[in-house]
């Protein structure tokens, strides 16, 4: 006989393994594979659960206040999506987040299935399994960090992140696992009175790893969680807890000494040389990241005031952010100021789902705390378990004030809620209690159960085919299409793009933006310009189709403008005016954003409208004088007006800010302007960019060698001279003569 409950348990464990799933052949590789597999597993669980409830289960499912609150939240966000600015985006989300109403409801179903299927002991085993999964996950994260694992640590900025792809995501994952381990430590202490056990060691491992991620928001949440648990135990009148009281007092004293020492030495090499310690001492409301988060929260509140009931719709924080954007943020974050999330979960919920969504969201936490409070009030033995999970939930809420939810946090949060729900112990109502026994079979009820099961299977089949598998297939196609462009195969890329557009997937906008970025970066290297133009025209056509319906899609609008500019450079002269029109709309949509004005200035330079370029860029430079692209085009505009001396400081600032250049001939022209200033440090940067664009050009290596010679850098001067000779054997004698000059220190004889 099939044991459906056991199958559901194994599927739940499989869900806990989804954070391991990464596929570098997908668009946003750390996101979509996890979401896809999780959704498949949950939908299979849903069908089995419905059948188990309808046919096999002898008991009536009791919906606790926590389950009801969560279901109500799910309904409210659906209503919010219906009345929001973009239902399609609210419901499905995009490749980068894979959340939306559809995604959140899978986590809600995961929670409901766990909470209504398994007992307290069974869920405790599931939590214990998760701890060991978390340990294995952390072991691999360390291997990746030391460049010994399956992924390149450079993908996460050489920070500890594991398969999450983001240190903040990993830190939140560790927060939950640490307190799961702490729960089992107290369970073991309760029965064996051992002060030091393996569970305490595991808790310590997770805690240390979390600290090493350098994620300050999670550090604050963790500290508050531990403080709640520690103070609760210290002030609890219970003689059996004396050893634990001493332990926590010792931990708090050592922690205080540690913080005093670290902050006292924050300006020393000891602290500044340690990434985690440096991040810890950098916690401040004046920190650029903190300032940007505060302004983002204020923007979210302004968005809420415009749509106070049901908000802008889930996943639609972006249009609210653009409309109420505070340009002061650019002074603190000149390039990373554009948010599609508030980086403050409660404020984002308020802005995107309104007061009804906000209240229903908070009610989940309220009933979680309520259940924990009621449980320990009825039985003193539940005091510490209730205290631990109260601390965990509160710490999670606090750290979410600095970030937002994602796959790993949702997975851990709803697993925790399912376990907390087991603290609520109602009387189980059976069919006998309801006096439903009859001498005759009621076939109508059997038919109803059969109908509900079939309906669930049909719903899941449709969802899997069109809303789960198709998006994953499209994600693979996007990467394939982008690779074809880099491999000089625009005709193949066009075929792939047409397949994407014909697919009933919700990721078409992602495909357009992805194609725009890769064409902008590599389109100049494609040899078949005619085929590339056909591809560009097709992508523009699809962008126009979406923008006719959703005019608020800022990124799509700027991507279209970039494609139109590329079409102009490929020979379609009509596209220049269309690009200008697209950027005018983008500027009207986001008047304080630098990017559309910079792109618009680039087009104006083509038409020789230098005065208008200067007018556009002055507005950006006034907000932040260090944006490299703004300085670069300002330099070009001034130079076009024959104001060379006035233009050079802007060129210097642009190169110092690492302005990105895509044409080596342009780089050679810029070098000519810098030679007279003898700014060889800037010339070095330019030639390195040129070499990156064309690694086989021996002349660039010759120029780099000469530049390093002027900088008296023997090692690099010789290296690039020899590399030039390797690329062009005809240069061997000249290279040999150059190396002799370098080795004898005849720097003045090195030509500019």
Q: How many CB atoms neighbour CB 59 within 10 A?
A: 12
Q: Which residues lie closer than 8 Å to 554 by C-beta, 6 or more apart?
A: 318, 319, 322, 586, 589, 590, 593
Q: How far apart are CA 212 and CA 414, in angstroms?
A: 26
674-752 classified as CATH 1.25.40.10 = yes
What pLDDT does 445 receive?
A: 55
Q: How far apart are CA 622 and CA 280, in angstroms?
A: 32
593-660 and 674-752: same fold?
A: yes
pLDDT tens digits for range 689-734: 999 988 999 999 988 888 888 888 889 988 998 998 999 988 888 8
pLDDT tens digits for range 409-432: 999 999 999 999 998 864 333 344
Delimit the domains of the chain by residue range. Answer: 23-32+443-586, 593-660, 674-752
pLDDT tens digits for range 7-48: 999 999 999 999 999 999 998 999 999 999 999 999 999 999
What pLDDT does 174 receive?
A: 97
210 has pLDDT over 50:
yes
pLDDT tens digits for range 168-204: 999 999 999 999 999 999 988 877 778 888 999 999 9
pLDDT tens digits for range 668-680: 899 888 888 888 8
| pLDDT range class, residue 504, cuts 50, 70, 90 | low
- Helix (DSSP H) and strand (DSSP E) numbers for the chain: 34, 0
| Token representation of residue 311 | 């908000």
Residue 430, helix vs strand vs coil: strand
132 has pLDDT over 80:
yes
**Are the CB atoms for 129 and 98 separated by under 8 Å?**
no
Q: Which residues of 661-699 are buried (b: 16+ CB within 10 A; e: fewer)?
A: beebeebeebbebbeeeebbebbbbbbebbbebeeebbe
pTM score: 0.87
CATH fold label, 593-660? 1.25.40
| pLDDT range class, residue 434, cuts 50, 70, 90 | very low
Residue 59, helix vs strand vs coil: strand
Q: How far apart are CA 114 and CA 102, in angstroms?
A: 19
């Amino acid at each position: 006989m099939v044991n459906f409950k056991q199958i559901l348990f194994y599927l739940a464990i499989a869900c806990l393994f989804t954070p391991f799933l990464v596929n570098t052949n997908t668009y946003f590789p750390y996101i979509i594979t996890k979401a896809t597999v999780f959704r498949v597993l949950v939908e299979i669980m849903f069908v089995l659960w419905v059948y188990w409830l309808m046919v096999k289960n002898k008991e009536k499912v009791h919906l606790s206040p926590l389950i009801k609150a969560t279901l109500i939240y799910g309904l409210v966000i659906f209503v919010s999506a219906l009345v929001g600015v973009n239902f399609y985006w609210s419901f499905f989300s995009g490749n980068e987040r894979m959340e939306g109403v559809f995604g959140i409801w899978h986590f809600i179903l995961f929670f409901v299935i766990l909470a209504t299927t398994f007992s307290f002991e069974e869920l405790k085993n599931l939590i214990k399994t998760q701890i060991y999964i978390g340990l294995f996950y952390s072991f691999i994260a360390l291997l990746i960090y030391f460049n010994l694992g399956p992924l390149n640590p450079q993908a996460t900025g050489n920070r500890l992140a594991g398969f999450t792809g983001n240190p903040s995501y990993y830190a939140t994952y560790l927060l939950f696992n640490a307190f799961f381990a702490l729960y089992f430590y107290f369970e073991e202490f309760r029965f064996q009175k051992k002060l030091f056990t393996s569970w305490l060691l595991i808790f310590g491992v997770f805690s240390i790893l979390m600290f090493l991620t350098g994620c300050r928001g999670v550090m604050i949440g963790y500290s508050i969680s531990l403080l709640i648990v520690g103070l609760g135990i210290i002030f609890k009148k219970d003689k059996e807890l004396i050893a634990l009281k001493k332990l926590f007092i010792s931990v708090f004293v050592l922690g205080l000494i540690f913080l005093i020492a670290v902050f006292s030495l924050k300006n020393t090499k000891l602290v500044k040389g340690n990434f985690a310690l440096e991040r810890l001492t950098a916690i401040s409301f004046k920190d650029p990241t903190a300032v940007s988060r505060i302004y983002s929260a204020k923007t979210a509140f302004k968005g809420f005031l415009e749509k106070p009931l049901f908000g802008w719709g889930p996943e639609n924080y972006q249009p609210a952010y653009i409309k109420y954007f505070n340009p002061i943020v650019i002074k603190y974050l000149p390039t990373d100021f554009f948010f599609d999330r508030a980086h403050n979960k409660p404020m984002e919920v308020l802005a995107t789902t309104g007061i009804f969504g906000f209240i229903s969201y908070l009610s989940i936490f309220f009933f979680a705390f309520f259940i924990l409070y009621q449980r320990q009030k009825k039985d003193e033995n539940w005091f510490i378990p209730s205290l631990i999970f109260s601390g965990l939930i509160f710490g999670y809420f606090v750290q979410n004030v600095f970030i937002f939810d994602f796959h790993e946090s949702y997975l851990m949060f709803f697993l925790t809620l399912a376990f907390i729900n087991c603290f609520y112990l109602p009387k189980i109502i059976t069919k006998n209690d309801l006096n439903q026994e009859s001498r005759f079979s009621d076939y109508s009820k059997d038919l109803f159960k059969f109908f509900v099961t079939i309906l669930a299977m049909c719903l899941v089949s449709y969802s899997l085919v069109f809303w789960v598998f198709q998006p994953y297939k499209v994600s693979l196609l996007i990467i394939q299409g982008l690779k074809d462009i880099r491999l000089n195969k625009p005709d193949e890329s066009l075929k792939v793009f047409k397949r994407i557009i014909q697919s009933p997937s919700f990721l078409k906008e992602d495909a357009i933006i992805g194609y725009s970025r890769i064409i902008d970066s590599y389109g100049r290297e494609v040899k078949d310009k005619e085929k590339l133009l056909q591809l560009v025209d097709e992508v523009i056509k699809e962008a126009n189709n979406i923008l006719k319906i959703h005019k608020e899609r800022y990124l799509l609008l700027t991507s279209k403008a970039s494609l139109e500019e590329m079409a102009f450079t490929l020979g379609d002269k009509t596209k220049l005016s269309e690009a200008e029109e697209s950027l005018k709309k983008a500027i009207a949509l986001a008047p304080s954003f630098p990017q559309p004005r910079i792109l618009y200035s680039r087009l104006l330079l083509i038409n020789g409208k230098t005065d208008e370029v200067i007018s556009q860029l002055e507005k950006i430079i006034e907000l932040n004088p260090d944006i490299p692209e703004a300085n670069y085009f300002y330099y070009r505009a001034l130079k076009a007006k024959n104001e060379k001396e006035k233009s050079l400081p802007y060129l210097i600032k642009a190169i110092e800010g690492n302005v990105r250049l895509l044409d080596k001939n342009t780089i050679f022209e810029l070098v000519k302007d810098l030679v007279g200033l003898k700014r060889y440090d800037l010339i070095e940067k330019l030639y390195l960019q040129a070499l990156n664009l064309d690694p086989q050009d021996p002349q660039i290596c010759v120029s780099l060698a000469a530049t390093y010679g002027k900088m008296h850098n023997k090692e690099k001067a010789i290296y690039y001279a020899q590399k030039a000779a390797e690329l062009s054997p005809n240069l061997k004698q000249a290279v040999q003569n150059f190396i002799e000059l370098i080795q004898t220190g005849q720097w003045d004889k090195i030509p500019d």
